[in-house]
Structure 1
Amino acid sequence: MTDATPIGTSSGILHVLMDIGPNVSEEEFHQWYNNEHGPSRMAIEGFKCGVRYEALDGLGPKWVATYEIDNLTVLQTEPYLSIRNNSSPEEADILKRISLIDRKIYADVLHRGQFQPVIGTILVAVRLLIPSANAKELEEWYQKEHVDMLADIPGWLRSRLFKELSSESSKTDLVQYMALHEYHSDNGLGGPKHVAASSTDWRMRIMSLAIGGPIRRDFRLYHIF
């Protein structure tokens, strides 16, 4: 999305997926991200928490960073735009060589549970593209059934639901949602309670409405800012 996209005053996240590619070593990538890129964002008032995850599913993009933000309008203020538009020579160089950066902004819809910043925490990310006419039902399903059932899974820590802010989606009759579910490294994912939460009639109906079906990715918490 572009910075011209209207951003409301709600809280939310900046969610950035990245693939390094062949022209940047992992050592160089992590040194830059952990010591320059991430800390420069976290120094801006309104950025509450920043974490990086590594994919567990063997799919790409392999790396994701998520920044929790008190008020999304901070992404249109001078302090943030300044660090985006005035990269250091080192950052400008590495950004040219990274193969993929997919940057999205999401507004909060639902938040249940508490974040426990422990390296190795498991993140399950699920994206759903839903007709706007069914958006309210999807949110009600999360609020009235799905998160309650997920919270009963051993090792569950937190579930959040977000709506993407996108100039493109506003021109269509579709809404992009993303759910982020966090679990201890020792958890009941794939067990009977997880199967039960994934098998209700209401869930089946919501999934049947999702364009292209749900897209699930599994990650492990790699770094905390």
Structure 2
Amino acid sequence: MTQPHGMLFVATNIDAADEADFNQWYDHEHVEERVAISGFLSGTRYQAVDAERKYLGLYETASLEAFTSADYHAAFTRQTEWSVKNLNKMVNPMRRVCAISHQHGQGSGSHLAVLTLKAGIDVASLGIWQNSVQQTPGYIASRLLTPDPTLSSPLPRETSATRPMHPMLLLSCRDAQVCKTLAADAAQALNADVQLYSLSWQLTKQEMAHG
């Protein structure tokens, strides 16, 4: 049986005084370091349009096994001083390692909605909703993220007291208004909270291979 793709989901705020250095680190060291790890396929950065945390990083992997590999664990023994400094300056961070399922559509749009499914997932309702929007102009794709509690260890400044492992639906759209409208519809149909983001940039393993 084919293993589902995995995704590392990291969202955070950062103090204004640290923001410039945080973005330099993310753009010029951190994403490339993570995508270079065996089994990682891409790293994508988003910035909040209307969300609790300003910055979101999504790292797709070939499977969840990428997060238990020797190469992945070795990355944490090679943390640069720059990485340690910025990881410890994250404000209210959230880290989840998730399995990807119920992929619908293909591609990535300029806007993303993250829908946290507070009462869990009703697969039948999700399928009905996905099929109902597939011809909507501006809809690109959607997929379900199911966090793995064992793999989702907290970041240095992440609270360990209450870390709900709710499934999340990622909704990708061509523009902001379509994303907002479809996210509101999905929130009502699936009992979800909505966070809205815009695409900043992406790095893929294929691009790294070509230098």
Identify whether the pair has TM-score above 0.5, normalized to the shorter chain: yes
Identical pairs, percent: 23
Q: Is the 8 A contact 1:126 1:216 kept in 2?
A: yes
Number of the residue aligned with 2:96: 104
- CA spacing shift, 1:101–1:199, aligned 2, 3 Å: closer
Q: Secondary structure at the match of 1:80?
A: helix
Written as runs of structure 1 = structure 2, the 5 A alignment for 1:8-47 is 9-24=3-18, 26-47=19-40
Per-residue CA shift, 1:55-95, capped at 9, x if unaligned? 001x4210000011111111111211121233111211222
Written as runs of structure 1 = structure 2, the 5 A alignment for 1:58-137 is 59-116=51-108, 121-130=110-119, 135=121
Q: CA RMSD in A?
A: 2.7
Question: Which consecutive residues of structure 2, in runs of 5 or more, have no partner in the other structure?
Answer: 153-163, 204-211
Matched residues in 2 for 1:125 and 1:103: separation?
14
Per-residue CA shift, 1:77-115, capped at 9, x if unaligned? 121112123311121122222323211011122101111
Amino acid at match of 2:142: S
Which of the pair has more CA radius of gyration?
1
TM-score (norm 2): 0.79
Q: Is the 8 A contact 2:113 2:180 kept in 1?
A: no
Amino acid at match of 1:215: D
Number of the residue aligned with 2:161: none
Matched, 1:224 2:191: no
Matched residues in 2 for 1:218 and 1:123: separation?
6
Q: Secondary structure at the match of 1:65?
A: strand
Amino acid at match of 1:41: R
Q: Secondary structure at the match of 1:56?
A: strand
Q: Is the 8 A contact 2:113 2:179 kept in 1?
A: no
Q: Is the 8 A contact 1:153 1:187 kept in 2?
A: no
Amino acid at match of 2:35: M
Matched residues in 1 for 2:97 and 2:45: separation?
16
Q: Is the 8 A contact 1:52 1:63 kept in 2?
A: yes
Q: Is the 8 A contact 1:159 1:181 kept in 2?
A: yes
Q: Is the 8 A contact 1:156 1:187 kept in 2?
A: no
Given the alignment, which residue of 141, 148, 156 partners 1:165?
Answer: 148
Matched residues in 2 for 1:74 and 1:217: separation?
27
How far off is 1:175 after superposition?
A: 6.6
How far off is 1:186 after superposition?
A: 6.2
- CA spacing shift, 1:161–1:54, aligned 2, 3 Å: same
What is the number of equivalent residue pairs in this alignment? 190
Question: Which consecutive residues of structure 1, in runs of 5 or more, have no partner in the other structure?
Answer: 1-8, 208-213
Q: Is the 8 A contact 1:129 1:175 kept in 2?
A: no
